[in-house]
């Protein structure tokens, strides 16, 4: 994500928000290992999150990027930081059994005098137990606070520039679904259809190039669709089966996921009943999703619609999305579910997931929307109805 995508004023505002969150938790030095948070704070973009790398944000001054020597030039090219703010760990320490890269991070923190009031993202895909052990051995357990989600929460309300990115991702998502609708027919191998859909998302549209999404296409058919997160296989599409596709375009790491369901043949009554319940849930949710409403109020629209149709939904029905890297495009903060009393604010963006999974089939029609004073507004323009084909 080129740093020029956002103004210096926007990055400065992000730092202020994050430092305010740090102050509330008594954190003087925040160690950010989540690549989405690294990118949001500095612009850093690279497929380097499989090795230790962090952005270090002290209570004052410029953030520091710290990572593998081989990736330092990538940080120089993609961040707004000065070269003097970029630090690396010895290349010979990569995946070395006796030399953990975080030992070099300890040295850097000591050189800076940033050895107390540390905060780390403990519950995070990209922060290992071994990394934490090195920090604890160096500074002691009491000097390290759990800062899980601290930056994520600052990202909840999107700027107009971020929403523009997500709308462009939504255009890519719509193109992917158009290719899906056109190519979905009996006898087509699932892997070939997925290949065409992915190619459309990456090839993009005139003047709008796609990027790799944080999640691979979810594309189960028939009984497979009773599971929520099966990808694809080489089996041919067959009559009498429902398939749902969950995909997202990605533009400069911003996402706009959407699921649609398709059926080959004449859909049975229970699937049509589920379709009606899901479509009603979406309309009710978008009408309700205004600033000041709670997450559980929004979620109730889905559960109530399903209950009227005779279905029970036992899982959450939405989560925030935006900037992300594999393995997840969610922001891992609030959820649209009972018990979450977080109040919506204008500019928040959610992936609404009124999916329904039974023992024999699954149906998912989902939308990514932004909260506005007039209600939720979908960020992609894709027909919602069940796609039905017989040939």
376-385 pLDDT per residue, tens: 999 999 999 9
Tens digit of each residue's pLDDT (9 = 90 or more) over 110-154: 999 999 999 999 999 999 999 999 999 999 999 999 999 999 999
What is the mean predicted confidence (pLDDT) over 223-246? 93
Give the closest residue to 324 by CA, choosing from 155, 130, 105. Answer: 155
pLDDT value of position 314:
83
- Report whether pLDDT(264) > 90: yes
For residue 4, the model assigns a pLDDT of: 64
* 290's tokens: 């205004």
Residue 298 has pLDDT above 60, yes or no: yes
Average pLDDT over residues 293-305: 96
Q: What is the mean pLDDT of residues 304-327?
A: 94
Percentage of the chain modeled with pLDDT above 70? 99
Question: What does the mean pLDDT of the chain come to?
Answer: 96
Neighbours of 178 (CB within 10 A): 14
Residue range 142-171: average pLDDT?
Answer: 98
Report percent pLDDT > 90 for the chain. 92
Give tens-digit pLDDT for 181-198: 999 999 999 999 999 999
Q: Provide the pLDDT for residue 97.
A: 87
Average pLDDT (272-298) is 97
Q: Which residue has the tokens 């939904």?
A: 313
d(CA 104, CA 69): 12
Tokens of 317: 């029905």
- Exposure class string for 112-149: b at 16+ Cβ within 10 A, else e: eebbebbbbbeebbbbeeebeebbeebbeeebbbebbb
Which domains, ranges and CATH numbers included, belong to the chain? 3-154 (3.40.350.10), 160-389 (3.90.230.10)
Cis peptide upstream of residue 327 (ω within 30 degrees of 0): yes
Q: Sort residue 305 into left (φ over 0), alpha (ψ -120 to 50) or beta.
A: alpha
Residue 47 has a pLDDT of 96
pTM of the full structure:
0.96
Decide if pLDDT at 13 tops 90. Answer: yes
- Band (76; pLDDT cuts 50, 70, 90): very high
pLDDT at 2 over 60: no
């Amino acid at each position: 994500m080129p740093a020029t995508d956002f103004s210096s004023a926007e990055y400065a505002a992000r730092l202020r928000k994050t430092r305010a969150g740090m102050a509330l938790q008594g954190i003087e030095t925040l160690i950010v290992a989540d690549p989405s948070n690294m990118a949001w704070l500095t612009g850093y973009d690279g497929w380097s999150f499989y090795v230790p790398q962090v952005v270090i944000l002290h209570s004052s001054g410029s953030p520091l990027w710290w990572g593998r020597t081989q990736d330092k030039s990538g940080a120089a090219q993609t961040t707004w930081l000065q070269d003097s703010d970029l630090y690396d760990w010895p290349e010979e320490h990569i995946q070395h059994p006796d030399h953990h890269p975080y030992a070099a991070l300890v040295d850097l923190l000591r050189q800076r005098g940033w050895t107390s009031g540390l905060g780390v993202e403990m519950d995070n895909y990209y922060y290992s137990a071994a990394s934490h052990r090195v920090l604890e051995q160096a500074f002691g357990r009491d000097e390290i606070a759990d800062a899980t989600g601290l930056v994520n929460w600052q990202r909840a309300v999107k700027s107009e520039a971020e929403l523009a990115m997500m709308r462009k991702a939504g255009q890519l998502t719509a193109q992917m679904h158009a290719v899906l609708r056109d190519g979905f027919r009996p006898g087509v191998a699932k892997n070939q259809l997925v290949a065409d859909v992915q190619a459309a998302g990456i090839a993009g549209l005139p003047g709008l190039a796609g990027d790799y999404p944080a999640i691979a296409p979810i594309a189960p058919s028939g009984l497979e669709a009773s599971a929520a997160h099966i990808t694809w296989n080489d089996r041919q599409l067959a009559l009498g089966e429902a398939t749902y596709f969950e995909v997202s375009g990605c533009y400069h790491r911003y996402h706009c996921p959407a699921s649609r369901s398709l059926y080959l043949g004449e859909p049975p009554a229970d699937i049509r009943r589920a379709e009606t319940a899901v479509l009603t849930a979406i309309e009710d949710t978008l009408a309700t999703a205004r600033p000041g409403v709670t997450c559980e109020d929004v979620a109730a629209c889905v559960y109530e619609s399903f209950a009227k149709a005779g279905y029970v939904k036992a899982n959450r029905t939405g989560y925030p999305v935006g900037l992300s890297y594999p393995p997840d495009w969610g922001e891992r903060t609030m959820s649209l579910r009972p018990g979450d009393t977080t109040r919506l604010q204008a500019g928040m963006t959610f992936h609404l997931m009124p999916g329904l999974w039974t023992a024999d089939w699954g149906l998912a029609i989902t939308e990514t929307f932004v909260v506005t004073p007039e209600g939720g507004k979908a960020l992609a323009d894709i027909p919602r109805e069940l796609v039905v084909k017989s040939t």
